[in-house]
Structure 1
Amino acid sequence: MHLIQILLPLYDNEGKPFGQELFLRVRDELSERFGGITTYMRSPARGLWKETRETTVHDDIVIYEVMTDTLDRDWWQGYRQQLTVIFRQALLIVRVSEVQLL
């Protein structure tokens, strides 16, 4: 079983919030394709990273998760590229972990 997590920013690089319709569209696409989705939207997570030695950048993000028995890497890479364009990001994180259900 694979757990795929998508980290989506709440704001563009100028600080303008993305419209709710973008998040609903991603939710609906993933729910339809994988039969369900978990969204973490109420308390956005904050990502911090060093862009340079002197500059720390942050993003407020939401996390979407889906689980699937098979991992279609080509589909996920294409989907990540689509989301990168839609959310106007230089890099958008989509990560996968193998999980075992207890």
Structure 2
Amino acid sequence: MHLVHILLPLSDNAGKPLGRTLFRTVADELTEKFGGMTAHTRAPAEGLWKEGAGGASKDEIVIYEVMAEGLDEAWWAKYRKKLERRFKQERVIVRAQETRLL
């Protein structure tokens, strides 16, 4: 079993807030494919990263997660690329960790 996290920005690279429809579409797709999903949206998390000598950049993000029986890395790579286009991002972080249910 794998726990997969998708970190989605609340704004595009120009700082323009992204519409709720984008997030609803992702939630619907994940629910259809994996039978359910969890959205961590109550208090947006803040992502920081360093870009050269110009200092740090930041994003406010929400985290979507799914439990997957297997990890189809090719499917996830294609889906990540699709999310990058939709959300107008250079990179959307999708990470997975092996997990077990107790």
SS in 2 for 1:44: strand
Matched, 1:83 2:83: yes
| Corresponding position of 1:55 | 55
Per the TM alignment, residue 54 of structure 1 is displaced from its structure 2 partner at its CA by 3.6
Q: What is the identity, as a one-letter code, of the residue corresponding to 2:57?
A: V
The alpha-carbon deviation at position 51 of structure 1 amounts to 0.6
| Amino acid paired to 2:25 | R
Q: Distance in 2 between matches of 1:65 and 1:40?
A: 8
In the TM superposition, residue 13 of structure 1 has moved relative to its aligned partner by 1.3
Q: Report the RMSD for the aligned CA atoms in angstroms.
A: 0.8
Tell me the residue number matched to 2:4.
Answer: 4
Pairwise CA distance, 1:52:
1.5
Deviation of the 1:61 alpha carbon = 0.3
> Does the alignment pair 1:38 with 2:38?
yes
Partner Cα separation in structure 2 for residue 83 and residue 54 of structure 1: 27
Q: Distance in 2 between matches of 1:13 and 1:85?
A: 12
The two structures have a TM-score, normalised by structure 1, of 0.96
SS at match of 1:39: strand
Deviations 1:5-56 (A, max 9, x none): 0000000111110000000000000001100000011210000111123410
Structure 1 runs (4+) deviating above 6 angstroms are none
Task: Look up the equivalent residue of 1:23 and give its one-letter code.
Answer: F
Q: Which consecutive unaligned segments of at least 5 residues does structure 2 have? A: none
Identity of aligned residues (%): 55
